[in-house]
């Protein structure tokens, strides 16, 4: 077959690329898995399209065409808990949610603290429906005791390190992690939780935990952890990325640190921007058990404020699959975590864009350019020559979250039954359609 | 009004005033039954009740069991500790297995807050909460309220002080909801480490000084102090607790004249309450136990046969 001029053209949509500062009706041309060009519709361009086969043309009328979304905080559970999720199923969920790239956390079994496990994940991810970037462990088996071989991890492709799920309790270890990571100019991603203060906790400490008689984790457990590591970050000059910010005081601490010039970035999840701990009381729904916990309305509002003013750089799902069998139990016996890849975009649209907190371009920036910048990932833009990772969004599509529609192997979402607006219409990975509504 | 709004008793937080009044009124007639020579009525004949005790509790279990027997119900007991169950069968599987043997009502005690609510999602039986985690213990609060009601002829306007580990006490939570619904004035008193976060949102007066809390109160309900709280550093010593929060004869002087002393038991004599006070003329501690049986009979009776309404 003779080589074509283009493999695919997306026409009729509104193209938004915050990295390029681009936002208008345009055609996106794809060739050899890369973005060939973005062109505004002129007679010449129309003519060019006419020469193409019909099956090469994607009609994106009334839709948004944006760089493939990037989620820098997901748990794919493989290796170790393949019944909850696999790299393959997780990536399919990512594609269905409009994500073309995910960063997977190292708290698997075995833990991603060595080259073999990184390699294993990379191999499994080769033909998956999303790009998988590996985050290695800061300490061996995320035990907070000895540094893992971070140099080795970086060498084979780890883009950052994190002990997510746990927080290195010993400040000396965290200092070394930051200093060591600085050599490779990768950020240390941090799950902020002083585990002395949060011991045994299963929800936020608030009037709700008081009312329900459930052990609460005080918001100060997060604040202290964030403040400690900001201090270490300032001292070492390393890069710190705070994961799933959930409290008002943590947002304030990050805002102040950024103002001062400390090299800190932050992410927040949709669930911390949409839910409050009042929800738990109604039904003790174990899908509302997450770590960090869903906090109060004041914390939720502060997280949104932080997102709006740039204190929080990006939106990440903290997709944490658990099987029904594990979540179908008493609240305090349930494991923490909810899935998020397939609801993030719609929650952002319904609760942040529709409510006037973010414009589409801001929201897209926080799910494309910003995460790519923080971790130095390729993509996050439609710039000519970049990989053709593209998400086409149906911006006002009304839909109801249904458990049996999830591609994730696990269905642990508290949003099941919710009516949301906005959905991925098509997800394109390296020029290949990996998901279509 | 002769029916309860819900077919379960999961807690008192959402139980309306007329339901509490109905339970207290119904308790009266069962209180009379247990004073008879033949302490048995055929009310629940043909009804099977499962006593599901995932946490040990001799008193509450015996009280419920006797209440069931005196109503002529068939009873089955299942008891285990949560720790052993954790490793094995899930709560859902356990109860669904038992329910397959045709159970009508379940009395559940569990160390997890919300476990009784969870059971309503697992089975069709009427669920009665006999204490879940640090959440609620509604029949204990109802018997406390009944005991007070019998003495004063009312609950409204009385000042009730609940002393002890507010943070971990399900008895206190149920008392707060029930007493407030019945328009009593409720005060909480305990060391600040045992007064949970934002407890003021319960809408009760809060005290860390025992003398201030007792001043002008009608009823003082003293809670058992769990000695393991001392090990976990929530208060420095039993001795200091007794000095600051122990109910002794001297402190009784602060109460209103016709005061009442209560304790849900079992007591640590000499720790949260002195023997002199526990056995004193104004103590109703043993009456509480007798009334507990009548209250449980009333609750079992009012909830039985309430299957028809899906919820
Ligand atoms: Zn985490
Ligand atoms: Zn995580």
- Please list every residue in chain A whose beta carbon sits closer than 8 Å to the beta carbon of residue B141: none
**pLDDT number for residue A216:** 97
Partner B contacted by A216 (CB < 8 A): yes
Contact A214 B113 (CB under 8 A): yes
Answer whether A235 touches B (CB < 8 Å): no
Half-sphere exposure of B247 toward its Cβ, with a 13 Å CA cutoff?
A: 36
Say if CB B164 and CB B138 are below 8 A apart: no
Q: List, in order, residues 6 or more apart from B152 with CB less than 8 Å away.
A: B158, B218, B258
Query: How would you classify residue B86: left for phi > 0, otherwise alpha for psi between -120 and 50, otherwise beta?
Result: alpha
Q: How far is B46 from chain A (nearest CA, A)?
A: 31
- The pLDDT value recorded for residue B310 is 43
**CB < 8 Å to A283, chain B:** 117
User: CB distance B90–A325 less than 8 Å?
Assistant: yes
pLDDT at B84: 55
- Mean pLDDT of the region A366-379: 97
| Model ipTM value | 0.94
User: Given an 8 Å threshold on Cβ–Cβ distance, is B197 in contact with A206?
Assistant: yes
Please state, as a whole number, how many other Cβ atoms lie within 10 Å of the Cβ of residue B148: 26
The whole-number pLDDT of residue A131 equals 98
Q: What is the pLDDT of residue A120?
A: 98
**Å between B178 CA and nearest CA of chain A:** 14
- Tens-digit pLDDT string for chain B (311 aa): 478 999 999 999 999 999 999 999 999 999 999 999 999 999 999 999 999 999 888 999 999 999 999 999 999 998 886 555 556 788 999 899 888 889 999 999 999 999 999 999 999 999 999 999 999 999 999 999 999 999 999 999 999 999 999 999 999 999 999 999 999 999 999 999 999 999 999 999 999 999 999 999 999 999 999 888 888 889 999 999 999 999 999 999 999 999 999 999 999 999 999 999 999 999 999 999 999 999 999 999 999 966 554 44
- Answer whether A218 sits within 8 Å of B197, measured CB to CB: yes
- pLDDT per position as a tens digit, A176-204: 999 999 999 999 999 999 999 999 999 99
Burial profile B274-288: b = 16 or more Cβ within 10 angstroms, e = fewer? beebbeeebbbbebb
The predicted-structure confidence for A237-280, as pLDDT tens digits, reads as follows 999 999 999 999 999 999 999 999 999 999 999 999 999 999 99
- At A213-246, the pLDDT tens digits run 999 999 999 999 999 999 999 999 999 999 999 9
Q: Does pLDDT of A433 surpass 60?
A: yes
Encode pLDDT of A96-105 as tens digits.
Answer: 999 999 999 9
- Strands A188-190 and A264-268, sheet pairing: unpaired
Residue-level pLDDT at B203: 95
Q: Does A324 touch chain B (CB under 8 A)?
A: no
* 3-class secondary structure per residue, chain B: CCCCCCCCECCCCCCCHHHHHHHHHHHHHHHHHCCCCCCCCCCCCCCEEEEEECCCCHHHHHHHHHHHHHCCCEEEEEECCHHHHHHCCCHHHHHHHHHCCCCCEEEEEECCCCHHHHHHHHCCCEEEEEEECCCECHHHHHHHHHHHHHHHCCCCCCEEEEECCCCCCHHHHHHHHHHHHCCCEEEEECCHHHCCCCHHHHCCEEECCHHHHHCCCCEEEECCCCCHHHHCCCCCCHHHHHHHHCECHHHHCCCCCCCEEECCCCCCECCCECHHHHCCCCECHHHHHHHHHHHHHHHHHHHCCCCCCCC
A205: chain B residues, CB-CB within 8 Å? 197
CA of A73 to the centre of ligand 2 (A): 6
Strand partners for A436: A426
Cβ atoms of A11 and A57 closer than 8 Å: yes
Residues A17-36 have pLDDT tens digits of 999 999 999 999 999 999 99
A328 and B112 within 8 Å at the Cβ level: the answer is no
Q: What is the greatest pairwise CA distance in chain A?
A: 71
Looking at chain B, which residue has its C-alpha nearest residue A206?
B197
Torsion of CA A280, A281, A283, A287, to 10 degrees: 10
pTM to 2 decimal places:
0.95
Instruction: Show Cβ contacts of residue A172 under 8 Å, excluding neighbours closer than 6 positions.
Output: none
Quickly tell me which residue has 């002529």 as its tokens: B72
- Predicted local confidence at residue A2, as pLDDT: 47
């Amino acid at each position: 077959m003779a080589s074509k001029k283009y493999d695919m053209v997306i026409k009729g949509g509104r193209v938004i690329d915050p990295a390029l500062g681009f936002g208008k009706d345009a055609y996106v041309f794809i060739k050899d898995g890369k973005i060939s060009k973005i062109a505004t519709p002129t007679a010449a361009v129309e003519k060019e399209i006419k020469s193409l086969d019909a099956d090469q043309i994607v009609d994106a009328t009334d839709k948004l065409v944006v760089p493939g979304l990037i989620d820098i905080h997901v748990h794919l559970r493989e290796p170790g808990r393949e019944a909850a999720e696999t790299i393959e199923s997780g990536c399919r969920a990512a594609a269905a949610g409009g994500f073309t790239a995910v960063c997977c956390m190292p708290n698997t079994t075995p833990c991603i603290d060595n080259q073999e496990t990184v390699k294993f994940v990379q191999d499994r991810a080769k033909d998956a429906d999303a790009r998988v970037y590996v985050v290695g462990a800061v300490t061996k088996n995320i035990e907070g005791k000895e540094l893992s071989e971070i140099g080795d991890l970086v060498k084979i492709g780890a883009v950052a390190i994190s002990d997510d799920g746990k927080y290195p309790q010993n400040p000396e270890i965290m200092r070394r992690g930051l200093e060591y990571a600085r050599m490779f100019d990768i950020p240390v991603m941090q799950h902020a939780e002083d585990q002395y203060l949060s011991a045994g906790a299963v929800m936020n400490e608030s009037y709700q935990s008081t009312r329900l008689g459930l052990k609460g984790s005080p918001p100060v457990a997060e604040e202290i952890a964030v403040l400690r590591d900001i201090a270490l970050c300032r001292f070492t000059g390393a890069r710190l990325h705070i994961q799933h910010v959930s409290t008002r005081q943590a947002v304030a601490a990050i805002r102040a640190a950024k103002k001062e010039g400390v090299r800190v970035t932050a992410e927040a999840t949709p669930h911390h921007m949409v839910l409050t701990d009042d929800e738990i009381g109604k039904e003790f729904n174990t899908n509302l058990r997450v770590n960090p916990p869903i906090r109060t309305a004041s914390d939720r509002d502060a997280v949104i404020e932080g997102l709006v003013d740039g204190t929080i750089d990006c939106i990440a799902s903290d997709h944490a699959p658990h099987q029904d069998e594990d979540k179908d139990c008493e609240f305090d016996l349930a494991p923490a975590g909810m899935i998020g890849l397939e609801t993030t975009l719609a929650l952002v649209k319904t609760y942040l864009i529709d409510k006037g907190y973010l414009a589409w371009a801001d929201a897209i920036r926080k799910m494309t350019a910003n995460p790519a910048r923080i971790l130095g990932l390729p993509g996050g833009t439609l710039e000519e020559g970049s990989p053709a990772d593209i998400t086409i969004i149906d911006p006002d599509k009304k839909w109801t979250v249904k458990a049996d529609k999830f591609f994730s192997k696990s269905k642990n979402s508290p949003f099941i039954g919710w009516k949301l607006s906005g959905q991925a219409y098509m997800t394109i990975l390296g020029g290949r359609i990996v998901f279509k509504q | 009004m002769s029916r309860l709004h819900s077919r379960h008793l999961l807690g008192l937080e959402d139980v309306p005033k007329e339901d509490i009044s109905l339970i207290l009124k119904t308790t009266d007639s069962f209180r009379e039954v247990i004073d008879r020579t033949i302490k048995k009525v055929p009310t629940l004949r043909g009804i099977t009740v499962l006593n599901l005790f995932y946490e040990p509790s001799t008193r509450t279990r015996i009280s419920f069991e006797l209440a069931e027997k005196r109503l002529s119900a068939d009873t089955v007991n299942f008891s285990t500790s949560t720790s052993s169950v954790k490793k094995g069968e899930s709560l859902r599987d356990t109860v669904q297995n038992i329910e397959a043997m045709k159970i009508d009502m379940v009395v559940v005690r569990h160390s997890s807050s919300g476990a009784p609510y969870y059971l309503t999602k697992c089975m069709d039986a009427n669920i009665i909460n006999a204490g879940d985690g640090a959440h609620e213990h509604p029949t204990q609060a109802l018997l406390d309220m009944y005991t007070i009601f019998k003495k004063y002829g009312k609950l409204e306007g009385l000042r009730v002080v609940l002393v002890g580990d507010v943070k971990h006490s399900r008895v206190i939570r149920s008392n707060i909801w029930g007493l407030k619904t019945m328009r009593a004035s409720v005060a909480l008193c305990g060391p600040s480490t045992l007064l949970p976060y934002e407890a003021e949102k319960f809408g009760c007066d809060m005290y860390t000084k025992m003398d201030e809390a007792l001043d002008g109160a009608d009823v003082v309900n003293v809670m058992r102090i769990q000695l393991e709280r001392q090990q976990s550093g929530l208060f420095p010593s039993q001795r200091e607790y007794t000095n600051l929060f122990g109910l002794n004869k001297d402190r009784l002087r602060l109460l209103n004249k016709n005061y009442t002393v209560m304790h849900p038991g079992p007591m640590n004599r000499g720790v949260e309450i002195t023997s002199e006070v526990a056995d004193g003329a104004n103590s109703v501690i043993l009456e509480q136990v007798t009334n507990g049986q009548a209250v449980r009979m009333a609750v079992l009776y009012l909830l039985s046969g309430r299957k028809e309404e899906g919820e």
